[in-house]
Amino acid sequence: MRAAEFLREKFGEDRFEVAVVGGSGINLGSGESEIGYSEVPGMPTPKVPGHSGRLKKLKIGDKRVLFFEGRFHYYEGRSDREIRFIPELSSELGVKLFILTCSSGAVSRRAVSSEIGVVYDHVNFMGRNPLVGLISEFGERVFFNPKELYDREFSDIFLKVALSEGIRAVPVVLGATLGPSYETFSEVRLLQVAGADCVSMSTVPEALVAGFLGMRVVALTVFTNDVLSPAADHKEVLKVASERSGKLSLVLRKGIEALLL
């Protein structure tokens, strides 16, 4: 991948231990150096407010970290290849741990009363899977089993960090819908029956690709709204995500520092 070689030269690093994908309004602060997605060969650029399209090189503890400030969504009309770009690039750069963050609507009442969720499983209602078509490249490996997709050891560490900081955090099952429309009341009931604690329009596709490529996966979400509220809109989601992003950033930094990779 030309993008990987370009970034090795740009950032002066051959490999990175961790990659973090930032969701709506989520920011890890200034990096040692950064570059716009548009400058990276072949890399798509975000189209959604709250996704700035900046790639930052960070050092957290003793770990070299890539922070992708913005992602790509199926509801933008993106192809599977575009959805795969960030996890594939991360894998090319030697990343061992792929961390996803997102904003989500709270479905379960325990999520409604919390601030941050650590994902331990998901339910994919998107009707899309970015692994489709990879059989030509990987043969039988396309039959990926995601039952242990989210790394329990590392997820436990992030959950414990959040709780130790006094943050209202809970383990969750993440529901994924295609978007861009929010859920109807009947769709909320379907999510509840399926066991989803929260729902997002992202994260699950990239998690599937990262796991397929052999990276360990952790996903964290900020609860931005109660899905039963008829007043939810993207402006409010960005506002609450911004208010809670500092807490999520703290959990990310302390959690990454505590990891043994």
The Cα-based distances of 258 to 18, 91, 157, 176, 211 in angstroms read: 13, 22, 8, 29, 22
* Vertex 63 angle, CA 240 and 13, to 5°: 110
How do residues 17-53 score in pLDDT, each as one tens digit?
Answer: 999 998 766 677 667 799 999 999 999 988 776 667 8
- Within 8 A by CB and 6+ apart from 236, the residues are 224, 225
pLDDT cut 90: percent of the chain above it: 76
Rounded average pLDDT over 89-100 = 98
The Cα-based distances of 70 to 29, 37, 79, 247 in angstroms read: 13, 9, 16, 18
* Residues forming beta bridges with residue 108, ordered by sequence position: none
- Within 8 A by CB and 6+ apart from 74, the residues are 83, 126, 128, 178, 179, 201, 205
The domain covering 2-258 belongs, at the CATH homologous superfamily level, to Nucleoside phosphorylase domain (3.40.50.1580)
3-state class of 26 per DSSP?
coil
Token pair for residue 183?
């859920």
Is the pLDDT score of 139 beyond 70? no
All structural domains of the chain with their residue ranges: 2-258
Q: Give the Cα separation of 142 and 212 in Å (integer).
A: 8
Is the pLDDT score of 85 beyond 80? yes
Q: Give the Cα separation of 12 and 28 in Å (integer).
A: 21
The Cα-based distances of 145 to 29, 148, 152 in angstroms read: 35, 8, 15
Q: Which has the minimum average pLDDT: 25-34, 35-44, 185-194, 210-219?
A: 25-34
* Vertex 118 angle, CA 206 and 87, to 5°: 15
